[in-house]
Amino acid sequence: MSIHLSPATVGSPVGTYGLAIHTSSSDFGLAISNFSRDRRVQTWVLGRDLSMYLHTYLVDFLQPQSWSDLAFIAVAKGPGGFTGTRLGVVTARTLAQQLEIPLFGISSLAAIAYAESLKGVQDAIAIQMKAQRGEVFGAIYQPTTTGLETLLEDTVLPLEQWQHQLSAWSEPLKLVVIEEGVGSTVDSLLALAHLKWQQGDRSHWADTLPFYGQHPVDR
């Protein structure tokens, strides 16, 4: 997919908005905010039509803002669907490179955990999401006053092994089981990126790589 920006946009003064792109599941999520009074979030169930409509929906959603209004971009780097995750990361990398702004690759599982933390959960949060071939994606996060602390990095493993790991965990845990459709957490994706931005992180677009966990043709 090609994204065309006008020459006047590239290298323009840094804006005040953050944009988040979530394509790691069957629903496509976008969020934009200036972290003051202006905030918009929208999701679409696109499934395999994502590649056809991603660019159009993105351009339409951005309005009335323009590309030059963006200070940074956040993208769900996975785990999740292989094709959707790849499309989202490639799109975000292309935009951040051309706009010369930071790009934050945020775990899909971390976005789910952060959404749970906003509900008042204080215990560690274990996120379980269905993968392929009887395996699951799993991670454990601890809510903090500044976001999330990663207790167990995103991983993919057999369900039995994951369940054993949870049963052996010594601290209280809240288990959140996700089947599909996590694009609705795009707002949390943006919030986590904004926390990094506030802490002085200016992550380069080239540092964001997709985390697939599994490759569709492996084994």
Domains in the chain and their CATH numbers?
17-107+181-207 (3.30.420.40), 109-178 (3.30.420.200)
* Per-residue model confidence (pLDDT) at position 12: 47
* Per-residue model confidence (pLDDT) at position 213: 72
* Per-residue model confidence (pLDDT) at position 194: 97
pTM of the model: 0.90
Q: Tokens for 93, please give them.
A: 């990398």
Comparing C-alpha atoms, which of 19, 23, 21 is closest to residue 181?
Answer: 23
* Per-residue model confidence (pLDDT) at position 179: 79
* Per-residue model confidence (pLDDT) at position 15: 79
78-124 pLDDT, tens per residue? 998 889 999 999 999 999 999 999 999 999 999 999 999 999 989 99
Give CA–CA dist 140/149, Å, rounded: 9
Q: What does the mean pLDDT of the chain come to? A: 90
- Alpha helices by DSSP H, 63-170: 82-99, 108-117, 159-167
Low-confidence ranges of the chain (pLDDT < 50): 1-2, 7-8, 11-13, 216-219
* Per-residue model confidence (pLDDT) at position 5: 60
* Per-residue model confidence (pLDDT) at position 60: 96
Find out whether 72 and 60 touch, Cβ atoms under 8 Å.
no
The residue written with tokens 């994502």 in the block is 50
Its sign, for the CA torsion 114, 190, 145, 78, is positive
* Per-residue model confidence (pLDDT) at position 26: 86
* Per-residue model confidence (pLDDT) at position 4: 53
Find out whether 141 and 125 touch, Cβ atoms under 8 Å.
yes
The residue written with tokens 């995103």 in the block is 154
* Per-residue model confidence (pLDDT) at position 41: 97
Cα–Cα separations (whole angstroms), residue 111 to 54, 140, 191: 20, 12, 9
Cα–Cα separations (whole angstroms), residue 203 to 1, 86, 199: 23, 19, 11
Helices 82-99, 50-62: inter-axial angle, 10-degree rounding = 40
